[in-house]
Amino acid sequence: MRKAGVERDRADFADFYQRARDNCLRAVLAGTGDLALAEDLVAEAFARAWAAWPKVSRHPAPAAWVVRTALNVKVSWWRRHRREVALDGHDRPQLDGPAMDDALLAAIRKLPQRQREVIVLRIWLDLDTRTVAEVLGISAQTVAVHLSRATATLRAQFVPVARQEVGS
């Protein structure tokens, strides 16, 4: 009987991985700007998700759990290695993973952290406001405020360009 449960868990996790991997990678890529690092972080987060699959599978937003875990792994890594000296210009980020507009990615990376998190969870992972609030530990109203501010900032950067092109 136990073997059937393990096989079911494995199949459920494999299905979740196939559905969520690209969106999780895009979300982490938006937070890091480095494709190789994002891939490593997402792989580590999915490994941790598998290790805790009985708990993660019951989470209201397992993909958000993976993204949050990946970003937490990055922070933990940064804390351990913050005194290392960067090799000036040798490790340039490469952004040729899942389809991503460079200008949009750059604009999202300029947003304050909480606004970036809300955009990634609400828009890219398509989570409802209540779930985003639970994942981030903030109120639904605060999620709405951050989403409104982030979209206004992004709209201000991209809509005038679109209007100029139409008028030309």
Domain containing 109 equals: 101-168
Domain match, 73 and 3 both:
yes
State the total domains in the chain.
Answer: 2
Domain match, 26 and 79 both:
yes
Looking at residue 15, its amino acid is D
Mean pLDDT of the chain: 81
In 3D space, the residue among 133, 130, 128, 100 whose CA is nearest the CA of residue 28 turns out to be 100
Looking up tokens 């890529």 gives: 29
Res 96 pLDDT > 60: no
- Boundary of a domain, candidates 83, 116, 142: 83
For the record, the structure tokens of 141 come out as 């109203």
Res 100 pLDDT > 80: no
Looking up tokens 């393990």 gives: 6
- 52-62 per-position pLDDT tens digit: 999 999 998 99
For the record, the structure tokens of 81 come out as 């290695």
- Boundary of a domain, candidates 83, 112, 127: 83
- Indicate the pTM of the whole model: 0.57
- How far apart, in Å, are the Cα atoms of 85 and each of 24, 26, 75, 82? 29, 27, 17, 8
Average pLDDT estimate for 81-95? 49
Interior angle at CA 95, CA 120 and CA 88, nearest 5:
110
For the record, the structure tokens of 103 come out as 């200008």
Looking at residue 50, its amino acid is W
Res 143 pLDDT > 80: yes
Instruction: Identify whether 79 is part of a domain.
Output: yes
Domain match, 73 and 106 both:
no
103 and 92 in contact (C-beta within 8 Å)? no
What is the structure's pLDDT at 14?
93
